[in-house]
Structure 1
Amino acid sequence: MTQLIRFRTEDGGEAVVEVSEDEPGIVAVSRLGDAIADATGSLEEGLNRIRGIAQTTLNRLISLPRPPEEVTVEFGVRLNATAGAVIARTETEGHLKVAMVWRARTGGSAQD
């Protein structure tokens, strides 16, 4: 069975995401009017956690003694009622598939 979770966005919008009922933070609802549970934080708050993970990954990879000329990082992001956004166990398990590519720039770093 699945449950719907509503994430508010900072601009006043909302996103509804389907999650498994056994997802942490899901509380079973008993009334029909409560068919959509509200997430505890905004979508942006959850995604900021993922942004930090991506930035840390990039920083560590480009600081290698022989940094790669190109770095590609792919991962699945799963949305959760209480945690916001988390890295999924597998890419296919995620609600969002994120692929990021950094290319070395002539005369600069991938962070420029």
Structure 2
Amino acid sequence: MSELMRWDSDEGPVVVEVDSRDPGFRSVARRGEGEVHDVEGRFESALNNVRGAAVSALRTFRDEALHPDEITLEFGVKLSAAAGAVIAKTTAEGHLIVKLTWSQGASQGE
């Protein structure tokens, strides 16, 4: 069952649809269809978990051995009232796509 959760953010409220069957979800009271539950904490704080994962992945792939010209990270983000933001799964696994790009004209040592 889906519920609407609202986080405060620096840019105003952020409303997200979450699955009420997720661990940590607790409805404070039965509300009518479409009502919104306020979540403690800030939206930016909820995203810190995923931000840390992105920073760590970028640091890993920017090493001297690979030295790509471009790094693209792609992952789904799932928001949870208890855990904040987490990397969403696809089927039974975590979802993270990393794309490294090198320019054809670039030679080593340039």
Tell me the TM-score normalised to structure 2 length: 0.70
- Aligned position for 2:93: none
Paired letter, 1:17:
V
Paired letter, 1:88:
A
Bigger radius of gyration among the two: 2
* Percent identical residues: 37
Does the 8 Å contact 1:41/1:82 carry over to 2? Answer: no
Does the 8 Å contact 1:77/1:87 carry over to 2? Answer: yes
Matched pairs, number: 99
Mark the runs of 5 or more structure 2 residues left unpaired by the alignment.
91-95
- Aligned position for 2:82: 82
Task: Give the distance between the partners of 1:16 and 1:100, measured in 2 at CA.
Answer: 29
Task: Give the distance between the partners of 1:7 and 1:99, measured in 2 at CA.
Answer: 27
Residues 59-80 of structure 1: CA distance to partner in whole angstroms, max 9, x if unpaired?
A: 0111152333322211000111
Does the 8 Å contact 1:6/1:36 carry over to 2? Answer: yes
Does the 8 Å contact 2:5/2:17 carry over to 1? Answer: yes
Q: CA deviation at 1:34?
A: 9.4
Does the 8 Å contact 1:74/1:100 carry over to 2? Answer: yes
Higher helix share: 1
- Aligned position for 1:52: 52
Task: Give the distance between the partners of 2:81 and 2:38, measured in 1 at CA.
Answer: 7
- Aligned position for 1:72: 72
Task: Give the distance between the partners of 1:34 and 1:82, measured in 2 at CA.
Answer: 21
Residues 9-33 of structure 1: CA distance to partner in whole angstroms, max 9, x if unpaired?
A: 134x101111111122212332439
Task: Give the distance between the partners of 2:65 and 2:34, measured in 1 at CA.
Answer: 54
Mark the runs of 5 or more structure 1 residues left unpaired by the alignment.
91-97, 107-112
CA 1:33–1:77: 2 relative to 1, 3 Å: closer
Residues 18-63 of structure 1: CA distance to partner in whole angstroms, max 9, x if unpaired?
A: 1111122212332439932222221111122222211111001111
